Amino acid sequence: MNFTRAIVKKPGKSYVNGLTTSHLGAPDFELALKQHEAYIEALQKAGLTVTVLEADEEFPDSTFVEDTAVLTEKCAVITNPGADSRNGEIEAMKQVIPRFYDTIESIKSPGYLDGGDVMQVDDHFYIGLSSRTNREGAQQLKDILGKYGYGATIVPLQEFFHLKTGIAYLGNNTVVLAGEFIGSEDFKGFEQITVSKEDEYSANCIRINDFVIIPKGFEATKQKIAAAGYSVIECDMSEFRKQDGGLSCLSLRF
């Protein structure tokens, strides 16, 4: 998709105390900072002007900015993150988003929604129901998007953490997908680049202009995406993976 800007937030020292289920060990903060800098450079290489927000020590997971907002061409939606320890991250976003948007909506309790559960495919959005996004939150987003002429499909998840943990839209009616989404009715109309179980982490990748940014170390995925005609940029995500973070979670792109 044709984006021009991105918002990211540096990880703070408290990052190592964030939520995780990965059992991959504690992240190395200094290495996470370096990887974050390289991620920003990748976004810039893909053509984006990147707004870099300073770290917020109060919220260990706040580097995963994607979960705090859904940004579209017509409106911004501040989410209502489903994890208690993360919900307050939206207060900072309420200060930042008005720099870029006049039209701002929000998800309200008892609706919960994480941006990682939202995938845009041109004028249509897929919204995952997960441990972080409930039906009320998904329906609120669907209703908001409908006001602006966008369609939405709500997709109950079985295993994935977030919707975009297992699927990415590359444009040209093509998705990269893994796990429970392989063979899913919801995505059967797309050209599909499938990712094996062991490479599942690389299904969370991002298309920006002529580039697709993928996590480093997934050669088969890299080959398949390159074969589909995209220039691939790899980013080492090891320290973010330890906290269940995928590549898309580190930025809001618009």
Q: Which residues, 6 or more positions from 83, have their beta carbon under 8 angstroms from its beta carbon?
A: 19, 61, 114, 132
Window 137 to 196, contacts with ligand CIR (CB under 6 A): 162, 165
Print the SS3 string covering 52-72.
Answer: EECCCCCCCCCCCHHHHEEEC
Q: Which of 1, 38, 75, 83 binds ligand CIR (CB under 6 A)?
A: 83
End-to-end alpha carbon distance in the chain: 9
What residue type is assigned to position 118 of the chain?
V
Q: Which of 3, 7, 9, 20 binds ligand CIR (CB under 6 A)?
A: 20
Q: How far is the CB of 82 from ligand CIR (least distance, A)?
A: 9
Of the candidate spans 5-13, 92-100, 227-235, 241-249, the one that interacts with ligand CIR by CB under 6 A turns out to be 241-249
DSSP 80: B
Structure tokens at 72: 């579209």
Gap between the Cα atoms of 138 and 122, Å rounded? 18
Q: At 74, give phi and psi (nearest 5°).
A: -105, -20
Q: Is 162 a catalytic residue?
A: yes
Structure tokens at 97: 């988003």
- How far, in whole angstroms, is CA 212 from its chain's centroid? 14
Q: How far is the CB of 249 from ligand CIR (least distance, A)?
A: 3
The residue annotated as part of the active site, out of 36, 124, 162, 235, is 162
For residue 64, give the nearest of 139, 112, 114 by alpha carbon: 114
Structure tokens at 92: 């900072």
Window 106 to 125, contacts with ligand CIR (CB under 6 A): 116
Q: How far is the CB of 183 from ligand CIR (least distance, A)?
A: 23
Q: Which of 15, 39, 59, 64 binds ligand CIR (CB under 6 A)?
A: 64
Q: Which of 9, 36, 86, 207 binds ligand CIR (CB under 6 A)?
A: 86
Q: How far is the CB of 162 from ligand CIR (least distance, A)?
A: 4
Looking at beta carbons only, is 66 or 234 nearer to ligand CIR?
66
Size of the site for ligand CIR (CB under 6 A): 17
Structure tokens at 109: 């309790």
Question: Which stretches of the chain bind ligand CIR, using CB under 6 A?
Answer: 18-20, 61, 64, 66-67, 83, 86, 116, 162, 165, 243-246, 249
Annotated active-site positions, please? 162, 249
